[in-house]
Amino acid sequence: MLKRILLIFIILVIAVNINPVTILSHNGYPQIPETGGLSFSDYQKKLEENIRRQDDLRRKIAETQSQERTLAYQITYIENQINLRELEIEETETRIAQLKDNIGVLSGKLKNVEQDLNYLTSVSNERLRTIYMESYKQPLDVFIGSSANFNDLIVKTRYAQDVRAQDVALLLELRDTKANYNKQKQELENKKAEEEGLKQKLAGQRADLAAQRGGKENLLAATKNDESRYSRLLAAAQSEARILGEIVFKGNVVERSISINGLYKAGRISTGARVGTMGSTGYPGCSTASHLHLETLINARFDGNVLRGSLINPESRLSPRTILAFDANNNLYYRTTGFGGYSWPMSDPIMTQGYGKTPWSYRYQNNFHTGIDLVDLDSDNVAVKAMGSGTLYKGTITCGGSSPIKVALIDHGGSFISAYWHLQ
């Protein structure tokens, strides 16, 4: 009898001590690999090689900044920028692929932990119900009433102690499994958010690449792959030798006043009508190459022959458009600008200098360029057109011993005036 009781006791203890996680690991769930298409080390090697190539290309771009600006240089510069962006896209795609593998591994682990958690919860609930039911019975009644002899009572008492210990261990394991589940769930959410951020970054990089490729095509179209045409663009970029009149800074407001010689009213003009021809009047003291200097003023008025008003960036009033422009390093790039509804004053403009502080504004009063400079290389008789309808005024501005600057001004109403400098 004692041997039979001991055998039953050993079987029960073994049954209680079975680890639920071990059962689950052989319950038909697929084993999730630690990585996907590439190993972790392969991903790292690929990223390290990509970043090394990026660094080499950036170093190459920096080293060529001091070279003479030629069309061949400009094309090489744009091609290097395109190659760099392609490497940055490759890096982002590799990081997304690595992250996808990590998410797959983590999702598989989370699924297994969730199954473990469900199993442990089920077992714990069953044990808690049993403990609750047994709490209504007197311990001695339970054991003495069902025991054949004293040895049987000892075996049952020890078994009960082991069962209680297993109950405590079960609850502790349930607590730890819940904590592990919550931790891995949060980690998975973080990885998914990181993946979404990388996808958005990738979309931006691809858009930039498309713009850079378009910039190269537009550069070749604008210059017709002709060094002399490119030289004319560079000359136009540096043509604004002086800014005349007076400007005063009052916080964020730039007040402008300038005398117009021989100012007269030319009559009404409609949007897109010709106001003059692109030129270089004011040569050589105030202009060294043919271009248009465009200014826009609000709260503007004429006090006799003096134009007064507050300067604003012309781009804020011009309609949206994508054009070629020079950046701070004197390199041409493809730029989308225009935030208003007024027409552009040229059919095919290239912006050679922007508003405010520019690479060449050190030559001007207060290191400030009062408008934007535009050039059109497609004709020797480039029409300068009205941004909008209004009343047209014409006159000249004195530039020391240089030729007078011919200027046209349009009062658009609402105290808004546009000014067109260096006309032929």
- Closest alpha carbon to 281 in 179, 405, 161, 184: 405
Q: Is the pLDDT of residue 169 over 90?
A: no
Tens of pLDDT along 234-284?
A: 777 666 656 678 889 988 899 999 999 999 999 999 999 999 999 999 888
* Per-residue confidence band for 149, with pLDDT thresholds at 50, 70 and 90: low
More confident residue, 390 or 229: 390
Strands 321-326 and 350-353, by their bridges, are: parallel
Kindly report the pTM of this predicted structure: 0.56
Cα(first)–Cα(last) distance of the chain, in Å? 123
More confident residue, 299 or 332: 299
pLDDT on residue 24: 34
- Closest alpha carbon to 307 in 187, 184, 144, 418: 418
- Give strand ranges (E) for 83-235: none
Handedness of CA 161, 162, 166, 168 (dihedral sign): positive
DSSP states along 279-333: B-TTTTTTBSS-BEEEEEEEEEEEETTEEEEEEE-GGGTBPPEEEEEE-TTS-EE
Strands 372-375 and 246-250, by their bridges, are: unpaired
Q: What is the mean pLDDT of the chain?
A: 79
Q: Is the pLDDT of residue 5 over 80?
A: no
Tens of pLDDT along 396-411?
A: 998 877 899 999 999 9
Instruction: Kindly list the domain boundaries of the chain, sorted by start residue.
Output: 2-223, 244-423
